[in-house]
Structure 1
Amino acid sequence: MEPKKKGMSLIAKQKAAGWAFLTPATIMIAVMSFYPMIRAFILSLQTGKGANYRFTGFSNYARMFEDRVFLRSVGNTFFYLAIQVPIMLVLAILLAQLLNNKDLRFKGFFRTCVFLPCATSLVSYAIIFRFLFAQDGLVNNALVKIGLLDQGYNFLGTAWSAKMVIIIALIWRWTGYNMVFYLAGLQNIEYSVYEAAKIDGANGWKTFWGITVPLLKPTIIMTFIMSINGTLQLFDESVNLTNGGPANATITMSHYIYNTCFLRAPNFGYGSAMAFFVFIIVAILAFINLKVGDTRD
């Protein structure tokens, strides 16, 4: 009889190799993500300064619902979310559909032009928009010259117009980013499907709603969740465009958390509670989107 071969089997070696690759990433995620989350939750149950913290239970969470500035920041953030995300995603899908046309010339150039804004630094593009919409900026000068305004309008000093500037900036910055995902999804759809629909008499609108949107549904859900996550953590535009003004009319949750933790009188316990509140909202909305988008029986 032949002696039994010693050592691991091929399947065991494959499993060991898989764990060898996963373990470093798992440790890094645990150390850099999950441990800070746990520490932040513990800190959110405490109040104090420096090294002197005392346990106060959920008093920081109760304080949030009495804090008018925080409640205003929540309202502002959801206002941006409700207007900017749908417009941005619809534009991204339409642009992807247009730039996926096999007969379109210079497709690479047009795709680059649409994607280029998202390659711009967050701080840089916010400052550019701040100068564009200043009272003596390009937008006001153009509106005065064509006769729509008698003098420069203070876009960033008025609550509703400052919010609109932030929304315009977000749409300009992130539409191309989402368009890339939709473009990748469209290129995975066989062109013969569209040709068959055309033979059956379906026009462009019916083809879009009957073929393109259903087949892009996983991508749409993914970009929707990513956009919600990003908008709820909106920070750069609020800080660099308007600094939360006028009178906290444009401040976002992340901006207010930053102010609470690092400006004025730092309060890391209260800031951690607000950050955990944002985390819970993101998790709930992501779960709802996944459930709504899941069509499996």
Structure 2
Amino acid sequence: MTKAVVDSGGRQVAKDNKKALSRRNFLHGIAFVAPALIILLIFVFYPAVQTFITSLTTDRINRSGRFVGFENYVKLFGNADFRKDVLNTLVYAVLYAPIVVIVALLFALLLNRKDLKFVGFFRTFMFLPYVISMTVAAIAWDFILSPSLGLIPYWLGRITGIQHIDLLGSSSTAMITIVLITVWKNFGYFMVIFLAGLQGISQELYEAAALDGVNVWQKFWYITVPALRPTFVYIMIFGLIGSFQVFDQVFIMTSGGPDRATETIVYRIYTEAFGNGKLGYASALSYVLLIMTLIVGLCVLVNNARHEKEEIA
């Protein structure tokens, strides 16, 4: 009887100690994450909630408006200019994301070679454009592409015989020009990510494949690409999110022109909020952009998960 009571008491003490330890660990965890949570609440969640509330009103930049429910969203989808902005944003994303991935991967493969001299210098040189502010880069490229003073129009004129070529002033070339400038600016960052992924692939896989007589293309397609799938997913998600948020280069180089050919959703948000003063309408635009970004990100993740299941099967 006494032994049973002692055993029961010991188990109760151990149970209480475990609860106390769990409670203490929980409180310590809360203490550690509290600063980050407070920052998120103040600078992310509260503005997001407030923006959604504003999107349901006719608030202007200089005065409060009235509650109108989802009227701003209805106006959005019935507006031809908004549809043009969505199309421009999607065109930019479809052009930018694949090009930046291909360029970054090609340079990563090139600079991952062990027989290349001065590889550290070349890696740094390729990464430097990413360090430059997009505003500074856009101002520089705006000067370089100037029809009267720019180097690129000058040499294109010498080659083609067409003088004063205005790549940013033509609706047929403005968007692709901005895309290529952004690729130049950002590919170095994605190149570094690809380099990290490439260096994480075991060389034994390539050596075993070489013994089996596998050529370079087969090594790339059946070893490199599958091993880099998580890297591809990361780069595609961040590349697409970044392409949906394009603003600086459009604002500086084209101001949405010519003829709205480069006007994106973010640029439209800026003009509606700070140009026309329609905070409610601009907030609705912001939430439409958020939903578009979430849908694209989820599609990439679901597609990647499906491919991983197929590989496991």
Q: TM-score range by the shorter chain?
A: over 0.9
CA contact (8 A) 2:88 2:263 kept: yes
Aligned length in residues: 295
Residue in structure 2 matching 1:141, options 148, 154, 158: 154
Structure 1: segments with no counterpart, 5+ residues: none
1:245-292 Cα deviation digits (max 9, x unpaired): 1122111110110000001x2000000000000000000111111000
The CA distance in 1 between the partners of 2:281 and 2:155, in whole Å, is 45
The CA distance in 1 between the partners of 2:232 and 2:142, in whole Å, is 31
The residue number in structure 2 matching 1:281 is: 292
The CA distance in 1 between the partners of 2:118 and 2:26, in whole Å, is 47
Structure 2: segments with no counterpart, 5+ residues: 1-5
The residue number in structure 2 matching 1:187 is: 199
- The residue matched to 2:69 in structure 1 has which SS? coil
The CA distance in 2 between the partners of 1:213 and 1:79, in whole Å, is 26
1:86-144 Cα deviation digits (max 9, x unpaired): 01101111211111112221111111111111111111111111111111210111122
- Report the identity percentage: 37
Residue in structure 1 matching 2:33, options 5, 14, 22: 22
The CA distance in 1 between the partners of 2:29 and 2:210, in whole Å, is 47
Residue in structure 1 matching 2:44, options 33, 55, 63: 33
Shift of 1:14: 4.0
TM-score for both structures, normalised by structure 2: 0.89
- The residue matched to 2:66 in structure 1 has which SS? strand
Which has more radius of gyration?
A: 2
Cα gap change, 1:70/1:12 in structure 2, threshold over 3 Å: closer, same or farther?
same
- The residue matched to 1:52 in structure 2 has which SS? coil
The CA distance in 1 between the partners of 2:201 and 2:35, in whole Å, is 36
Shift of 1:213: 0.8
Letter in 2 for 1:284: I
Shift of 1:182: 0.8
CA contact (8 A) 2:157 2:165 kept: no
Residue in structure 2 matching 1:266, options 273, 277, 292: 277
The CA distance in 1 between the partners of 2:23 and 2:280, in whole Å, is 47
Cα gap change, 1:57/1:10 in structure 2, threshold over 3 Å: closer, same or farther?
closer
The CA distance in 1 between the partners of 2:104 and 2:297, in whole Å, is 20
Stretch moving more, 251-260 or 24-33: 24-33
